[in-house]
């Protein structure tokens, strides 16, 4: 390679480098995409103030925005016979006991994910008394529980 060819390639390389530098608008777009990804795979945790992955209270699977649903505590109560599960060692039963926010006494004997999230959902914007306690649940479990007697 001649000196002249080297400097020509160098100039092309420098030009490519300059065009690869991140502009403010490109940085904003990249950050928005990153935050969308974080938000699609996590929810704000009231316990820690940070974010955590939503986990189905029934099957213990991680939910994303496409599979995340919210199941009312009343529905869990009505379907509790389905959530008692088989006879298992005490250590397994103790592990699959939900003890977080929104927990009620009837939930003690049920096989529920200890990693599920809880939130209060208002059914109407005008009435604060119309709020219900809900837990993170995948759409498949919610559909199956809704169809079960």
Rounded to an integer, what distance in angstroms lies between the CA atom of residue 52 and that of residue 118?
12
- Range from 38-47, 82-91, 126-135 that averages highest in pLDDT: 82-91
pTM, whole model, 2 decimals?
0.68
Q: Nearest 5°: CA angle at 91, between 86 and 97?
A: 70
Q: Could you give the CA distance from residue 8 to residue 14 in angstroms, rounded to a whole number?
A: 10
| Tens digits of residue pLDDT in 14-25 | 555 556 566 767
Task: Please name the residues in contact with 137: beta carbons below 8 A apart, sequence gap of 6 or more.
Answer: 56, 57, 58, 63, 68, 69, 70, 71, 116
Provide the pairing of β-strand 68-72 with 51-52: unpaired
Our separate counts of H helices and E strands in the chain read 6, 5
């Amino acid at each position: 390679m001649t000196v002249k060819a080297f400097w020509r390639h160098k100039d092309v390389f420098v030009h490519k480098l300059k065009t690869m530098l991140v502009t403010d608008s490109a940085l904003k777009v990249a950050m928005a995409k990153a935050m969308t990804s974080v938000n699609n795979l996590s929810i704000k945790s009231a316990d820690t103030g940070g974010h955590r992955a939503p986990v189905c209270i029934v099957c213990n699977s991680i939910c994303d925005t496409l599979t995340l649903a919210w199941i009312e505590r009343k529905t869990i109560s009505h379907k509790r016979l389905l959530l008692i599960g088989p006879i298992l060692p005490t250590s397994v039963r103790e592990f699959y006991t939900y003890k977080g926010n929104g927990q009620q006494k009837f939930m003690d004997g049920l096989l529920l994910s200890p990693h599920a999230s809880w939130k209060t959902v208002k059914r109407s914007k005008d009435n604060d008394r119309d709020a219900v306690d809900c837990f993170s649940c995948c759409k498949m479990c919610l559909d199956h529980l809704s169809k079960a007697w």
